[in-house]
């Protein structure tokens, strides 16, 4: 009887050998945890569309950060819900704005936690768009001034890195100039370089109260059909001074993550966004999936595609599960 010479199953026979030959290793150090901070005291308001995620006042934020530090999660990203909104997004760059306050308090209590505020205006504008509106459209160059002003305010409040997500042309250069010109040349920029106009953002817009009041964001976020354009956006951001480039969302854009990884020699981040998270939570709630198994499979697929860093709402759970696996 003839037997196959090659038997790949030999290296799958038990957990030990599977771990020994595993090609992609997920680690807690890969995670950045997005958080929503809001005014008030004692606020811990669950986000209906994102079970397990909360709008947190700063006292509650600190309790959450303490838990994250114990789990070994190295970094958080802050999104802010301001007390009021206006046409020029003044809450984004105000010295006493919610994210600036969160940065100062978090850095004072958890100096080793790496703080990465999202830099955008949509949570702070009364119209919900990511910039200044002129004649019914977002004025790119006027918006750059406010984006740079916001990034600088965050750096001065203690941000370790800033992450512009607005998708305005030239915003990385504007931020780099503002930071370098004001004594913050050491603060890196993680650019949302390939940010797509995606239906996966729905739950986030509820969480951050940032849905546009008219139109949509397709005039500045990317067409989901385009991959070559993502590589162009990445190249432009790197030319302007980006230190890390990001693809957002992650799951439907694993091919883009891989193409970016193959083209650049800087770290690549990917954002496992709210809709991706909420689908897992909804299916798990209905008993249709094994939440732990599927979550870890998704996160591993994002890293396997080429992401060095993963922004994910699953970070606390995944950190606990990784600890359990390691004994």
Predicted confidence at residue 132, as pLDDT, reads 87
132: left (phi over 0), alpha (psi -120 to 50) or beta: beta
- The answer as to whether 10 is a domain residue is no
Predicted confidence at residue 1, as pLDDT, reads 63
Point out the catalytic residue in the list 149, 248, 281, 303.
248
- The answer as to whether 279 is a domain residue is yes
Name every residue whose Cβ is closer than 8 Å to that of residue 253 and which is 6 or more positions away in sequence.
Answer: 194, 196, 247, 270
Q: The pTM is what? A: 0.95
Give the CATH number for residue 94. 3.20.20.70
- The answer as to whether 174 is a domain residue is yes
Each as own residue / partner, the long-range contacts of residues 92-98 (CB below 8 Å, 24 or more positions apart, any chain) are 92/120, 92/121, 92/123, 92/124, 92/146, 92/150, 92/153, 93/146, 93/149, 93/150, 93/152, 93/153, 94/153, 95/153, 95/157, 97/153, 98/37, 98/38, 98/39
Point out the catalytic residue in the list 149, 195, 281, 303.
195
Secondary structure class of 15 (helix, strand, coil): helix
CA angle at 252 for the pair 316 and 235, rounded to the nearest 5°:
95
Query: Would you call 281 a catalytic residue per the annotation?
Result: no
- Residue 322 has a CB neighbour count (10 Å cut-off) of 19
Predicted confidence at residue 257, as pLDDT, reads 98
- The answer as to whether 12 is a domain residue is no
The widest CA-to-CA distance across the chain, in whole angstroms, is 79
- The answer as to whether 9 is a domain residue is no
Per-residue pLDDT of the chain (327 residues; tens, 9 = 90+): 677 888 899 999 999 999 999 999 999 999 999 999 999 999 999 999 999 999 999 999 999 999 999 999 999 999 999 998 999 999 999 999 999 999 999 999 999 999 999 999 988 998 878 888 888 888 999 999 999 999 999 999 999 999 999 999 999 999 999 999 999 999 999 999 999 999 999 998 888 777 777 777 788 899 999 999 999 999 999 999 999 999 999 999 999 999 999 999 999 999 999 999 999 999 999 999 999 999 999 999 999 999 999 999 999 999 999 999 886
Domain tally, the chain: 1
C-alpha torsion 239→243→248→253, nearest 10: 80
- The answer as to whether 140 is a domain residue is yes
Handedness of CA 321, 323, 326, 327 (dihedral sign): negative
- The answer as to whether 219 is a domain residue is yes
Q: Whole-angstrom Cα distance, residue 118 to residue 110?
A: 19
- The answer as to whether 7 is a domain residue is no
Query: Would you call 62 a catalytic residue per the annotation?
Result: no
Predicted confidence at residue 91, as pLDDT, reads 93
Q: Whole-angstrom Cα distance, residue 296 to residue 307?
A: 15
Residue 177: domain span? 24-326
């Amino acid at each position: 009887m003839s037997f196959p010479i090659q038997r790949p199953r030999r290296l799958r026979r038990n957990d030990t050998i599977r771990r020994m030959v595993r090609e992609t290793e997920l680690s807690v150090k890969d995670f950045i945890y997005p958080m929503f901070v809001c005014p008030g005291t004692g606020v811990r308001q669950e986000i209906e569309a994102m079970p397990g995620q909360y709008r947190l006042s700063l006292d509650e934020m600190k309790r959450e950060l303490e838990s994250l530090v114990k789990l070994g999660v190295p970094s958080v990203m802050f999104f802010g819900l301001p007390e009021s909104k206006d046409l020029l997004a003044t809450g984004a760059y105000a010295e006493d704005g919610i994210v600036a306050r969160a940065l100062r308090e978090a850095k004072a209590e958890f100096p080793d936690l790496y703080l990465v505020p999202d830099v955008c205006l949509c949570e702070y504008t009364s119209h919900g768009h990511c910039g200044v509106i002129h004649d019914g459209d977002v004025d790119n160059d006027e918006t750059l001034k406010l984006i740079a002003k916001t990034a600088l305010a965050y750096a001065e409040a203690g941000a370790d890195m800033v992450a512009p997500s607005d998708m305005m042309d030239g915003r990385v250069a504007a931020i780099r100039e503002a930071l370098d010109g004001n004594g913050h040349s050491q603060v890196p920029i993680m650019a949302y370089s390939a940010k797509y106009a995606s239906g996966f953002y729905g739950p986030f817009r509820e969480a951050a109260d940032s849905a546009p009041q008219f139109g949509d964001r397709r005039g500045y976020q990317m067409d989901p059909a385009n991959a070559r354009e993502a590589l162009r956006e990445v190249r432009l951001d790197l030319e302007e001074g980006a230190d890390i480039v990001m693809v957002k969302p992650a799951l439907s854009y694993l091919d883009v993550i891989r193409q970016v990884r193959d083209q650049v020699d800087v770290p690549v981040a990917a954002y496992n966004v709210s809709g991706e998270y909420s689908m897992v939570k909804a299916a798990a709630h209905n008993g249709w999936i094994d939440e732990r198994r599927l979550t870890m499979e998704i996160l591993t697929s994002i890293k396997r595609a080429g992401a060095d860093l993963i922004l994910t709402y699953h970070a606390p759970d995944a950190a606990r599960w990784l600890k359990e696996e390691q004994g």
